[in-house]
Amino acid sequence: MKMITVKTHITFKDFLIFNIKNSLSRLIVFPLLVLLFFVLKQCMDGSSERDILQSASLWFAVLFLFIVIRSFFRLRFVFHSNKKIQESISYTFTHEKIRTEGETFDGDFTWSTVHKVKENRDWFLIYQSTQTMNMVPKKYFSKEQISELRTIIKSNHVKAKLRND
């Protein structure tokens, strides 16, 4: 039986980049609207329509800036208020269970209780429910460990979206 153990540590920078990448598709709408209004403004001949579009472009830009700044401070608060996420965490993956050990906690859960697993380029996201997940950075894994973890996940028939690389 294979056992994979990785020691991880999530920094605020890791957490921020993760959230930016996952929010990018939603945030891209605002700059696109500003660009659209700007292009339309350049095409308009009438001064009243140009003024309205210029005003709308400015408001969308201000709203976008507000959302970005508010999101940064919200993420900083979430990260710093969750002491467990800031700890060094050791994950041990076996065919039966996942064991987590931090500086102030330890526990384990079986694969049958995992809601789903998502893998992206930089992370394994192990959802214990629709709202709760373990964020496991892949930078602490070797290529062989990543491959073996995928095998463990598949063999336990966990609902998963895994990469093929």
Claim to verify: residue 121 and residue 138 sit in the same structural domain: yes
| Count of CB atoms situated within 10 Å of the CB of 62 | 11
Q: In this predicted structure, what is the pLDDT of residue 34?
A: 67
Alpha helices in 82-133 (DSSP H): 83-86
pTM over the 0.85 mark:
no
Claim to verify: residue 118 and residue 59 sit in the same structural domain: no
End-to-end CA distance of the chain: 24
Give the integer Cα–Cα distance in Å for 9 and 15.
11
pLDDT < 50 positions in the chain: none
- How many residues appear in the chain? 165
- The range of the structural domain enclosing residue 111 comes to 4-9+88-161
Q: In this predicted structure, what is the pLDDT of residue 130?
A: 92
Q: In this predicted structure, what is the pLDDT of residue 76?
A: 95
Q: What is the pLDDT of residues 36-82, one digit of tens each?
A: 766 666 666 556 666 666 676 677 778 878 888 998 999 999 999 99
Claim to verify: residue 77 and residue 92 sit in the same structural domain: no
Burial class (CB in 10 A: 0-12, 13-18, 19+), 153: buried
Tell me which amino acid residue 78 is: V
